[in-house]
Amino acid sequence: MTIFEKIATGEIPAKLVHEADDFIAFHDVSPQAPVHVLIVPRKCIPRVALAAAGDGELLGRMLLATRGIAQKLGVLESGYRLVINNGPDAGESVPHLHVHLLAGRQLHWPPG
């Protein structure tokens, strides 16, 4: 069981920002920006490259929820970045698909 599954079941506490039946959003414990939220499906999908066709609706709802999350956090107008890491070379550290919402400062390009 991944740390994200434990957070989703309430076994590990987290500062929730948004909660839906099939995904949650919470503040990252090691933020890389003033606003750093993780949007995580309750179902463990190891990474985006391993998502099945049937996961498309869930992933779409997660992405669409970012607008409301950004608005709640006061960064909708100033802007935010969404990041999905896929594999160790991309910086994936937990084998459970998650979307990073980063904001609250100027985010440079290229990112890495």
What's the pLDDT tens digit per position in 10-67? Answer: 999 999 999 999 999 999 999 999 999 999 999 999 999 999 999 999 999 999 999 9
Q: Is residue 108 situated within a structural domain?
A: no
CATH number for the domain that contains residue 66: 3.30.428.10
What residues act catalytically?
98
The pLDDT assigned to 46 comes to 96
User: What count of Cα atoms within 13 Å lies in the side-chain half-sphere of residue 53?
Assistant: 0
SS3 64: helix
Q: Is residue 110 situated within a structural domain?
A: no
pLDDT tens per residue across span 58-112: 999 999 999 999 999 999 999 999 999 999 999 999 999 999 999 999 999 998 6
Q: Is residue 8 situated within a structural domain?
A: yes
Q: Which domain holds residue 83?
A: 3-103
Nearest Cα neighbor of 103 from 51, 7, 25 is 25
The structural domain count of the chain equals 1
Q: What is the pTM of this model?
A: 0.95
